Amino acid sequence: MDTVPFQPDLRPALPCVFGAKDYRDFRDTLVEMDRILAESGLEDVFVRRHLDACFEKDSERKRLFRAKVARKALRHAILLAVTGLSVRELAMRLPDSPLFAWFTGSVQIDGVRPASKSTIERFEKMFPEDDVAQLIHDLNRLAMDAKAAPALLLLEKPLDVEAVFADTTCVEGNIHFPVDWVLLRDAVRTLTKAVSLIRAQGLVNRMSSPAQFMRQMNQLCIEMTHAGRTKDARRTRKAVLRKMKKLAKVVSLHARRHRELLVAEREKTAWSDAQARQVLGRIDNVLEQLPAAIHQAHERLIGERQVKNEEKILSLYEPDVRVIVRGKAGSAVEFGNGLYLAEQAQGLIVDWAFFCERPPADASLVEGSVARIAVNYARPGAFAADRGFHSKANAAHLEAAGVFNAICPKSVRDLQKRLEDEPRFRQLQTRRGSTEARVAILTNDYVGKPLRSKSFKNRSARVVWCILAHNLWKLAAMAVARRREVREAQAA
């Protein structure tokens, strides 16, 4: 396999640990992940693809340096998804964890050179999302290869897409609740902080202390929180909201004046153009949305009128977060982005879709998913999902494509009949229950609740990294289990 010429740094052996079974299980799996990436050549191919796309004209010396950085970026992004840590927490753990430093290539003979928080964050954004998706498919195809699966992954037989199980979920966004009057608090908070930064540079305009405005808003928030305990709760809430609206307008006026002052006299500050634009961007983002946020809060609390979901502002900082009606116990309505997942029988995720806009109906996702799986792997033998995916069009499409339809019918009578008459349908529907657990594992243990990445582009990239880490961890765990079976058989 054609690879990038690269001499890896010498890594000291991991320390011997006695006891601590949970740690040893975690370490064994991480070591297997390292072996799979290195011995399969997937890491080399991924790095070469990145270099050819971005740095084809660089000298050989620069390409070697960039290859080393790209390998570290790949390892850091995978470890970030596996551990579920924030970039700050991982940056603090790297120097103290021999295992993490070893896996990421941060440890060398003369010491540990960990990446900083900002560097780890840049690592995750270094590669195009399509390249990471391609790596996922390459890894899955490796597990489905008749030669590589037993030799490299220690599987007794290669995996397949004979049966595919699909489900959808909501990836929760990092926003504040409730979204009506809290938007005004967020606006005042951002504007007062920006004004404080400008005034610290010596650009001042006549006003009270910014901290005083924030204290007033915090007091009003406390009053709003406790308004429900008063006798006339509705009237109290309306009175408090009117005060909030008045305060938000005063703060926005001061922020606008300080913004104009910064634009006119930026040279008098110690800021560069980029630093000034950063502060101006924060002010502009809030000032642009504040009138709509005030109107929304007025309509909901004072006018007691509903606001359409597509017209709501859920967050001043995350415009791509949507209202998703789930209709489930404990989560009738969720705030985030829709995610579609399809896994094969052993739990590898083979297809996915992350939606910026309001997610489409589940039934509309089947045809495209089957087509993508057929292109990336092979035509699936069966497609199983819950009743939300059922439609006459899907039944006709699956029959025409030669795919067994294991989607749960909406009709209870039809469901009972199929369960009684079709053993294969009954078996696939029984297995489909585990797909909900797969969705929970990915969203809770890898992606996180809420997903804290900012902007839809970064959230989408984070989801793809998490799918890669999940599949790699799954295959490594299978290899670890196989090695233990062999050792136990030899010991017996």
pTM of the model: 0.92
Q: Is the pLDDT of residue 1 over 50?
A: no
Q: Do 285 and 358 belong together in one domain?
A: no
Q: Do 266 and 301 belong together in one domain?
A: yes
Q: Do 354 and 434 belong together in one domain?
A: yes
Most confident of 17-21, 64-68, 321-325, 394-398: 394-398
Question: Which residue segment(s) compose the domain that 223 sits in?
Answer: 182-311
442: domain CATH number? 3.30.420
Location of structure tokens 């939300």: 388
Kindly state the average pLDDT of the residues 189-205. 95
216: domain CATH number? 1.20.1440
Q: Do 165 and 186 belong together in one domain?
A: no
Q: Do 352 and 390 belong together in one domain?
A: yes
For 87, 255, 430, the CA distances from 457, given in Å and listed in that order, are 17, 29, 36
For residue 67, tell me if it sits in a domain: no
Choose the final residue of a domain: 311, 337, 352. 311
The answer to whether the CB of 297 falls within 8 A of the CB of 183 is yes
Q: How far apart are CA 486 and CA 492, in angstroms?
A: 10
For residue 226, tell me if it sits in a domain: yes
Number of domains in the chain: 2
Res 55: pLDDT: 86
Q: Do 258 and 326 belong together in one domain?
A: no
Kindly state the average pLDDT of the residues 316-336. 84
Q: Do 332 and 374 belong together in one domain?
A: yes
For residue 69, tell me if it sits in a domain: no
Res 111: pLDDT: 78
Q: Which residues, other chains included, contact 337 with Cβ-Cβ below 8 Å and sequence gap of 6+?
A: 170, 171, 173, 320, 321, 322, 324, 354, 355, 356, 359, 456, 459
The distance between the two most distant Cα atoms of the chain, rounded to a whole number of Å, is: 84
pLDDT tens string 244-285:
999 999 999 999 999 999 999 999 999 999 999 999 999 999
Q: Residue 442: phi, psi to the nearest 5?
A: -65, -45
Q: Do 189 and 307 belong together in one domain?
A: yes
Q: Do 300 and 345 belong together in one domain?
A: no
Choose the final residue of a domain: 311, 341, 373. 311
Q: Do 423 and 345 belong together in one domain?
A: yes
N-to-C CA span, the chain: 39
Cα angle at 286 between 283 and 290, to 5 degrees? 140
